[in-house]
Amino acid sequence: MKSEAVKVGPDRAPHRSLFFATGICRESLERPLIGIASAFSDLVPGHIEMRNLERFIERGIEAAGGTPFVFGVPAICDGIAMGHEGMRFSLPSRDVIADGIEAVVQGHALDGIVFLTNCDKITPGMLMAAARLNIPAIFVTAGPMLAGHYQKRRLSFVRDTFEAAGRYHKGEITLEELHELEMEACPGAGSCQGLYTANTMACLTETMGMSLPFCGTAPAVLAEKKRIAYQSGKRIVELVRENITPRKIMTTSALRNAIVMDLALGGSTNTVLHLLALAKELENGAINLNTFDELSRKVPHLVMLRPAGDLFMEDLHFAGGIPAVLSTLGELIEDNPTVSGKSIREIQQSVRFIDREVIRSLDNPHSVEGGIAVLYGSLAPEGSVVKQSAVDPEMRVFKGKAVCFSSEEEAMQAITAGKIQKGSVIVIRYEGPKGGPGMREMLAPTSAIVGMGLSKDVALITDGRFSGGTRGPCIGHISPEAFEGGPIALIKDGDEILIDIPQRKIELLVDEAELQKRKESFVPPPPRYTRGLLARYAKLARPTHQGASMA
Cβ-based burial of 364 (10 A; exposed 0-12, middle 13-18, buried ≥19): exposed
Positive or negative, the CA dihedral 127, 276, 450, 488 is positive
Whether residue 95 is annotated as binding a ligand: the answer is no
Residue 203: what pLDDT? 98
Can you identify the CATH homologous superfamily of domain 373-546? Answer: IlvD/EDD C-terminal domain-like (3.50.30.80)
In the chain, residues under CATH classification 3.50.30.80 are 373-546
How many Cα atoms sit within 13 Å of 545 on the Cβ side?
Answer: 17
**Residues contacting residue 205 through CB under 8 Å, at least 6 positions apart:** 123, 127, 139, 141, 211, 215, 216
Note the pLDDT of residue 170. 87
Region of 494 (left: φ > 0; alpha: ψ -120 to 50; beta: rest) is: left
Q: Write down the pTM of the prediction.
A: 0.96
pLDDT of residue 83: 84
Q: What is the pLDDT of residue 551?
A: 80
pLDDT of residue 166: 85
The verdict on whether residue 441 carries a ligand-binding annotation is yes
CA 167 – CA 183 distance, rounded (Å): 17
Mean pLDDT, consecutive 10-residue stretches, the chain (551 aa), reads: 96 98 97 98 98 98 98 96 93 98 98 97 98 98 97 93 89 95 97 95 98 98 98 98 98 98 94 97 96 96 93 98 98 98 98 98 97 96 94 94 96 92 96 96 87 90 88 93 97 98 97 95 94 97 96 80
d(CA 308, CA 301): 11
Measuring CA to CA, which residue among 130, 122, 71 is closest to residue 97? 122
CATH 3.40.640.10 fits 31-146+188-349, yes or no: no
Residue 120 labeled ligand binder = yes
Residues that are catalytic: 467
Q: Is 160 annotated as a binding residue?
A: no
Beta bridge partners of 71: 37
Domain with CATH 3.40.50.2300 in the chain: 31-146+188-349
